[in-house]
Structure 1
Amino acid sequence: MLDALNDFLSGKLLIVLIVGLGSYFTIRSRFVQFRHFGHMFGVFKESLRGQAGQLSSFQALMLSLAGRVGAGNIAGVGIAVTLGGPGAVFWMWVTALVGMSSSFFECTLAQVYKRADGDGLYRGGPAYYIQHGLKLKSMAVVFSILLLVTYGFAFNGLQSYTVTHSLQNAFGFAPEHTGIALAVLLAIVFLGGIKRIAAVSDLLVPVKTLAYIGVTLYVIGTQIEHVPAMLETIFKSAFGLDPAFGGLLGSAIIMGVKRGVFANEAGLGSAPNVAAVAAVKHPGAQGVVQAFSVFLDTFVICTCTALLILLSGFYTPGFEGDGIVLTQNSLAAVVGDWGRLFVSVALSLFVFTCILYNYYLGENSLQFLSRNRAVLMTYRALVLALVVWGSTQNLSTVFAFADITMTCLAFVNLIALALLFKIGLRVMRDYDEQRRAGVNQPVFDSSKFKDLDLDRAAWPANPQAETATDNAAAQAQPQR
C-alpha cells in the first residue's frame, strides 16, 4: 500500500508539479538559469570569500552539495539507466535545466526571509518564508515537522544501513561496529554546531566529488572514441528512436525525471535551509550559487556516472540488478576489481556527508519549533541512536514512509513558491538591474522592500553606505 501511494505521489503527481512549476518559473524569469550561466562561475569564485565569524556562500554551497551529491548520483543513476535505458539520462538533464530556476527562487527567498539567530549566524528556509512571507504559521509548522521526521530521523537511519552494509560487502566490516564508529564520528561533528558541520563538508565534499569525477573521467577518457556515439544513443533513446531501447520510451521519461528530481532536490524544499545560512550581499547571489549546484550535481556528476555505466561494456539492455552493483561492476570492468572497492569508499563518503546534511535540516526545523537547548541535545542523541540501530536494520518500510512525507513537504514548498513567486521576481529584477548598471556584486537594500517582513539585522537599510565605508577603509590600508 505504501509503495502504491508513494508511486502515485512521488512518481506521478510530484513530477508533474516540479517540472511544470520549474518550466513556469523559467519562462516568467526570462530563463534566469541561462542568462546567469556564465555569471555563475564568477559568483562561485566570489563565494570563496567569507566574512569574519560568518559562513561563506561557498561553505553553504558545500553543505548543500553534501546533500545533493549522494547515493542518488551512484545508485540513482544506475537505477534510472537499468529501468529506463540510456534515454533516462536525457530526461535527467531536462529536469535539471528547469530545476535550476526552481532552486534559484527557493534559495533566493530563503535568503530574503532569513533570521539572525543571535550567535552571529543565520537560519532560514521554507518554514521561515512561509511564516514571514505568507503569514501562515500553521503551514510553516507542518513543513518543519515533515522535514524533521523525513530528513532528521528516517533518512538518517536508511543512510546508516546503506554505508555499513556497503563497507561489509567491500571489506567485511561488521555493521554493528561500523554503526558505532559512525555515530562517534558524527557526534564529534554535531557538537560543533553548524560551523563544524560546514567545515567538515567544506573539506570532504570537494575531496569526494573531485576523486569520483577524476576516476569516472579516466574511464571516459579510455573510451573517448565511443563518447559521440553514446551521446547519440542517449538522445535517440530519449525519444524512442533507438531500436534497442524503443520499448523503454515511457520508462525513460518517468525514471529520468524521477531520479533527476530526487538527485538534485530542486524544488523539494531541503536545500533552502542551508542556502539561508550564508552571509551574502544580495539574496540573488545565493540563488545563482545554488542553481550552479544543481548543474554540478546533474550535468557533471550524474553524467559521469551514466557515461561510466554505458561505456564500460558491462551494461546491456535488460540488465537486472541494483544501481550500486551496476556502477561497481561497470567500473571494475575497466579498471579491475579495485573499482568495486572505490565505489564503496566513495559511497561511504557520500553517505557520511549526507547524514550531516540531513541532521542539519532536522536541527533547523527543530530550532524553528523550539529554541530549548535540552530539546536540541535530545534530538542529537536520538539521531545518533538511530544511526547505530539503523546500521543493522533494513528500513525499507521506513524509507517508503519517508518518501511519502518528503513528497508532502515538497507539495507545501511548491505551493509556497508559487504564492511568493512575485516577490522572488522583484528580488531577481533588483539583482538584474544592478548587474546591468555595471555593479559586479549587487547589494540588497531592504529600504526598497519595506512592505516585506524582513529581519533588519540580517538586511539593513542603505547597505551601500556601509559598503562604501568598508571600501574606503580598505583602500586606505598601506599597500604591500
Structure 2
Amino acid sequence: MDAFGQFLDSLDGMLGGADWFPYVLLGVGLFFTIYLKFPQIRYFKHACKVVTGKFDKKSHEGDTTHFQALATALSGTVGTGNIGGVALAISIGGPAALFWMWMTAFFGMTTKFVEVTLSHKYRVKTDDGTMAGGPMYYMDRRLNMKWLAVLFAVATVISSFGTGSLPQINNIAQGMESTFGFEPWHTGGVLSILLALVILGGIKRIAAITSRVVPLMAAVYIIGALAVIFYNIENIAPSFAAVFTDAFSGSAAAGGFLGASFAYAFNRGVNRGLFSNEAGQGSAPIAHASAKADEPVSEGMVSILEPFIDTIIICTLTGLVILSSGVWTEKFETQFERSSMVILQGQYSEDNEQDRLALYKYLNDEKDHGVELFNGELHSIQGKAVEKEFTIIHSRSIAEDVRFGLTEKHVYTGTIEIKDGMPVDKDIMITGKSLVHSAELTTKAFSRGFFGENGKYIVSIGLLLFAFSTAIAWSYYGDRAMIYLLGSKSVMPYRVFYVAGFFWASFADTTLVWKLAAVAIVVMTLPNLFGIFLLRKEMKESVTEYWDKFNKEHPNEK
C-alpha cells in the first residue's frame, strides 16, 4: 500500500500537482472568457432571473427545476473544500493563495457555463425515464470519442468515492468525535442510513433535499463567519491588502509562517480553487443535465452562479475569517501528520535570517537551499529527544516543544530510526506546537469571534452539512456515470456499494483514497477541457441562437 501510495503521489505530481496544470485550467477559462466576451459578467443578471424559474414552461423536459439543479450541483461543490481547502491553501501559500482561488472562480464561471451547456445539449433519457448527461455524452455523441468518454466516466466513479463519499464521512466523523465525543462508527452508522434513504430515491429526492439543505447550511456558515470578521474588523483592510499585494510576489514570512513564493501560492491557490468549485472538472454538468429546459444555454446561464456562490462568496468568507483572526501565523499544540511533516538535519531557528531563507527555499522547491533530510537515530527519554541537531518542520513551520509517544498519554523511551526525514516506525506519535492547517485551522479561526469557543460548533455543524450534502450529490454523479458504462441495472448495486463505503470510511484511514481521487479529478478535468475547447465554435453558435430565440419570445426583457 505504501508503494501504491507513493506511485499515486508521483502521478499526481506529474498531473494536478505539476506546474503546467494551473496554466491549462486558467488558460481554458481565460480563452472562453475572451472568446464569448465575458459571459460571467454580461449574463449574470439574466442567470439570476433564469434560476428563479421566471422563464420556465411545464412542457420542458427534465427531472428538476433550475434552482434544484443548481442546489444539487452546489451541494457537490460546497463541502470540505470551503472549510478545510481554503485553510489548507492559505496555510501553504499565504494570503496570495486566496487571490488565485478568486481567479480560478472568475474564469471558472465561464468554463462552467460552457461545460454545462454542452453536457445539457447532448443528454439522453434513460430506461427509467430520468435524464442522464455529462461530458461523457458529448464526448461520445458529438465528438465520437467513446474511449475518452469511458475514461471520463470511470474517473467519475472513482472520484465519487474519493471526493464525495469516503473522505467526506471521514471528516465528519473526526469532527463529531473531537467536538462532541461521538464514536466515529456511530456517526457513520446514522449518516449511512440517512444517505441511503436519500439517494435510493433518485434525483428527485436528492434535489428536494439539497434545495433545502444548501440554503440552510450557507446561512449558518455565513452568520458564523461574519461574527468573526466583524469582531476583527480592524484587520479586514490589511487582510485584503495582503491578498492583492502578495498575489504576484508571494507571501513573506509572518509569525510562524515561513513564507511562500509566487509559484507555490499560484499552484496551490488554483488547485484548491478547482477542488472547491470544480469548474472544468465536468462533475456539475451531470447535475445540471437533469434540469427542465428546452434550451441548454439557459441551464448554462444558471451554472455561472455556482463558482460565484461557492468560491467568491463562501471561500472568501472563510479566507477573511482565517486572515483577520491571525491564527494562520500562530502555533498551536497539535499532533503532527506524516503528510505535513519532515525531520531535517541541523538545528534551525526562526530568529536566524539565514535559517529562514534556507527553509524558505527548501519549502518552495527552490535550488541551493542547503537543507538536508535527517537520516539516522534519535534517542527519546520520556518523550524528549536527547539529540539537539535536528529540526522538525510541520505545516510549513518550525515545530516547538516536540514530544514522542505511542499514544497521547504514553510518552516514548527508546530509539527512533529516521530515514529520509521520516520515522520508520509509523506507530510513533509526534506532538508539539506548530502551525495547523485544513479544518483545524478554520476551527481555530472561528473561535476568535463574538461566539468565542462556541464558534467551533459552527464549523462542526457546517462541516457536517457541507460534507454530507457533497456525498449526496456525488452519489448521483457516480450513478449517471455507471448508467453510461453499464446501463441502468448497474445503478442499484453502485448505490449499495457507495453507502457501504461511506460507513466504512467513518472509522478507516482514507489517505490512499484521497490520493487516488486527486489523480481521478485530473483525469476528469483534462479530457473535459480538451472536449469543450474542440466544441468552441458550436458553443458560440449556441449562445447566438439562444439570444435570437429569447429576444423574439421575450421582446421586453433585456
User: Is contact 1:33–1:291 with CA below 8 Å preserved after alignment?
Assistant: yes
Matching residue within 201, 223, 226 for 1:217: 226
Q: Deviations over 1:139-187 (max 9, x none)?
A: 2122111211221466412222111111111111111121111111111
1:272-287 map, 5 Å: 272-287=285-300
User: Is contact 1:47–1:58 with CA below 8 Å preserved after alignment?
Assistant: no
The answer to whether residue 138 in structure 2 is matched with residue 125 in structure 1 is no
The answer to whether residue 281 in structure 2 is matched with residue 268 in structure 1 is yes
CA 113–372 in structure 1, closer or farther in 2 if over 3 Å, else same: closer
User: Is contact 1:108–1:283 with CA below 8 Å preserved after alignment?
Assistant: yes
Aligned-residue offset at 1:440: 6.8
Matching residue within 330, 336, 343 for 2:445: 330
The answer to whether residue 156 in structure 2 is matched with residue 40 in structure 1 is no
Show the counterpart of 2:189: 180
Q: Secondary structure at the match of 1:46?
A: coil
1:68-79 map, 5 Å: 68-79=77-88
Matching residue within 466, 469, 472 for 1:353: 469
Q: Which structure has the greater CA radius of gyration?
A: 2
Q: Deviations over 1:385-417 (max 9, x none)?
A: 111211111110121022112211211111211
Choose 14-23 or 298-307, whichever is displaced more.
14-23
Aligned-residue offset at 1:253: 1.3
Show the counterpart of 2:145: 136
1:437-476 map, 5 Å: 439=554
The answer to whether residue 344 in structure 2 is matched with residue 292 in structure 1 is no
1:399-410 map, 5 Å: 399-410=514-525
Aligned-residue offset at 1:250: 2.6
Q: Secondary structure at the match of 2:52?
A: helix
CA distance in 1, matches of 2:556, 2:149: 32
Amino acid at match of 1:156: S
Matching residue within 92, 97, 100 for 2:106: 97
TM norm structure 1? 0.87
CA distance in 2, matches of 1:101, 1:67: 19
Q: Secondary structure at the match of 1:366?
A: helix
CA 287–432 in structure 1, closer or farther in 2 if over 3 Å, else same: same
CA 441–114 in structure 1, closer or farther in 2 if over 3 Å, else same: farther
Amino acid at match of 2:172: V
Show the counterpart of 2:540: 425
The answer to whether residue 505 in structure 2 is matched with residue 390 in structure 1 is yes
Show the counterpart of 1:21: 28
Show the counterpart of 1:232: 241
Alignment RMSD (CA, Å): 2.3
CA distance in 2, matches of 1:114, 1:247: 44
CA distance in 1, matches of 2:72, 2:55: 13
User: Is contact 1:88–1:256 with CA below 8 Å preserved after alignment?
Assistant: yes
The answer to whether residue 323 in structure 2 is matched with residue 310 in structure 1 is yes
Q: Secondary structure at the match of 2:292?
A: coil
Q: Deviations over 1:112-132 (max 9, x none)?
A: 111123555321111111111
User: Is contact 2:321–2:446 with CA below 8 Å preserved after alignment?
Assistant: yes
Choose 5-14 or 141-150, whichever is displaced more.
5-14
Q: Secondary structure at the match of 2:328?
A: coil
1:153-192 map, 5 Å: 155-192=164-201
| Identical aligned residues as a percent | 35
CA distance in 2, matches of 1:10, 1:156: 21
Show the counterpart of 1:344: 460
CA 189–96 in structure 1, closer or farther in 2 if over 3 Å, else same: same
CA distance in 1, matches of 2:149, 2:504: 30
Matching residue within 196, 203, 206 for 2:205: 196
CA 50–352 in structure 1, closer or farther in 2 if over 3 Å, else same: farther
Amino acid at match of 2:305: F
CA distance in 2, matches of 1:129, 1:263: 24
Show the counterpart of 2:404: none
User: Is contact 1:153–1:383 with CA below 8 Å preserved after alignment?
Assistant: no
Aligned-residue offset at 1:365: 0.5
User: Is contact 1:47–1:56 with CA below 8 Å preserved after alignment?
Assistant: no
The answer to whether residue 470 in structure 2 is matched with residue 371 in structure 1 is no
CA distance in 1, matches of 2:162, 2:520: 12
Q: Indicate the structure with greater strand content.
A: 2
Give the gaps of 5 or more residues in structure 2. 1-5, 331-396, 398-433
CA distance in 2, matches of 1:247, 1:389: 37
CA 223–15 in structure 1, closer or farther in 2 if over 3 Å, else same: same
CA 440–143 in structure 1, closer or farther in 2 if over 3 Å, else same: farther
User: Is contact 2:40–2:110 with CA below 8 Å preserved after alignment?
Assistant: yes
Show the counterpart of 1:31: 38
CA 154–69 in structure 1, closer or farther in 2 if over 3 Å, else same: closer
Q: Aligned pair count?
A: 441
CA distance in 2, matches of 1:214, 1:441: 38
Aligned-residue offset at 1:296: 0.8
Q: Deviations over 1:189-219 (max 9, x none)?
A: 1221111111111111110011111221232
User: Is contact 2:56–2:293 with CA below 8 Å preserved after alignment?
Assistant: no
Aligned-residue offset at 1:49: 6.0
User: Is contact 1:155–1:402 with CA below 8 Å preserved after alignment?
Assistant: no
Q: Indicate the structure with greater helix content.
A: 1
Q: Secondary structure at the match of 1:59?
A: helix
Give the gaps of 5 or more residues in structure 1. 443-480
Aligned-residue offset at 1:282: 1.6
Show the counterpart of 1:11: 17
CA 148–50 in structure 1, closer or farther in 2 if over 3 Å, else same: farther
